[in-house]
């Protein structure tokens, strides 16, 4: 019985010890999963902050936009600034408007389509920026458990091989290897769960923001269209 004696189980079963004991494949998997988790959380934090800012910016812009201030003035204040969200859409539309009227546009119909195109482009660019790294969250959420499982399977395989070589089936010999292998799955789940939750929340948030911006773009398009019609009527 002496050779099976369990020497301080605690010392061998701490998480750090488990990590150190693992084979290099499992270590690689664990490190990769850890990095993925760090990146996931970085994205989550970043997006949360970005969306909060975006919402704030949208609110402020809408407030300013509907305050009755003249569009020319607003454009002048915003043109030389770096704008995001609705501001960017507004600036893009106004720029197209200005260009057409300063050179004396012939067809008001063509102007309308050009403005719509410019606003669509700006909206798409904004949405792209908003949803930029959510794809990584989705990937992590779906793939991390599998990667962790892979690490576990490899770990259990190697530990069983070691057990077979040691010709001892005592539980205290079998357990550490399995615990160590399961650590990989644990890390995988640790990375995947927040990623999935965050992805769902952030993508719905981005959707809401996108809908809001689209609504603004439509409204602004309508306003500009009315303006074009008025200008055409004045000329005629």
Partner 1 sequence: MRTGLTTSVILHAAVISFGLFTLSSPAALPASDVEALPIAIVPMEAMTQIQQGDKKAVLHEKPAPVPTQRPDIVPDAQKIGENSVDTDKPVTPEAKPKPVDLAAAPPPAPTPIEKPKTEDVPKPKEEPKPIPATEVAPTPQPKEEVKPEPVKQANPKPTPAKEPTPAPPQDKTAAIQPQPEIKPDAVAEAIEKEQPTDAAQLPDSAPTPEARPKPQPAQAESAKAPERKDADKPVKEASSRPKSEDKQFNADEISALLDKQKPSGGGAKRSTQQASLGGDKTTGSKLSQSETDSLRGQVQRCWNIPAGAADAGNLKVSVKFKLDQSGALVGPVDIISGGGSDGVQRAAAESARRAVARCSPYTLPADKYDAWADVIVNFDPSEMF
Nearer to partner 1, 34 or 163 (CB): 34
Nearer to partner 1, 20 or 211 (CB): 20
CB 179 within 8 A of CB 155: no
Q: To the nearest whole angstrom, how small is the minimum distance from the Cβ of residue 10 to partner 1? A: 3
Nearer to partner 1, 55 or 114 (CB): 55
By the 10 Å C-beta count (0-12 exposed, 13-18 middle, 19+ buried), 48 is classed as: middle
Give the Å distances, CA to CA, from 80 to 26, 42, 75, 95.
53, 31, 9, 12
Binding site for partner 1 (CB under 8 A): 1, 9-11, 13-16, 34, 37-47, 49
Q: To the nearest whole angstrom, how small is the minimum distance from the Cβ of residue 9 to partner 1? A: 5
Nearer to partner 1, 16 or 24 (CB): 16
Q: To the nearest whole angstrom, how small is the minimum distance from the Cβ of residue 121 to partner 1? A: 24
Q: To the nearest whole angstrom, how small is the minimum distance from the Cβ of residue 170 to partner 1? A: 12
């Amino acid at each position: 019985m002496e050779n099976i004696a369990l020497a301080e189980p605690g010392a061998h079963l701490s998480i750090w010890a488990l990590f150190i004991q693992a084979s290099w494949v499992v270590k690689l998997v664990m490190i990769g999963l850890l990095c993925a988790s760090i990146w996931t959380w970085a994205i989550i934090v970043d997006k949360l902050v970005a969306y909060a800012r975006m919402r704030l910016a949208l609110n402020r812009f809408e407030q300013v936009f509907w305050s009755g201030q003249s569009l020319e003035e607003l454009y002048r204040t915003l043109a030389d600034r770096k704008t995001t969200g609705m501001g960017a859409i507004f600036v893009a539309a106004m720029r197209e408007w200005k260009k057409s009227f300063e050179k004396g546009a012939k067809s008001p119909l063509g102007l309308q389509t050009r403005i719509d195109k410019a606003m669509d482009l700006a909206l798409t660019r904004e949405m792209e920026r908003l949803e930029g790294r959510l794809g990584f969250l989705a990937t992590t959420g779906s793939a991390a458990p599998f990667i962790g499982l892979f690490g576990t399977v490899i770990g259990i395989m190697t530990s069983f091989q070691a057990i077979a070589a040691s010709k001892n089936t005592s539980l205290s010999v079998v357990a550490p290897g399995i615990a160590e292998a399961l650590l990989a799955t644990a890390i995988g789940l640790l990375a995947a769960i927040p990623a999935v939750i965050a992805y769902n929340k952030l993508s719905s948030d981005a959707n809401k923001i996108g809908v809001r911006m689209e609504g603004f773009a439509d409204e602004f398009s309508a306003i500009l269209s009315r303006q074009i019609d008025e200008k055409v009527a004045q000329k005629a």
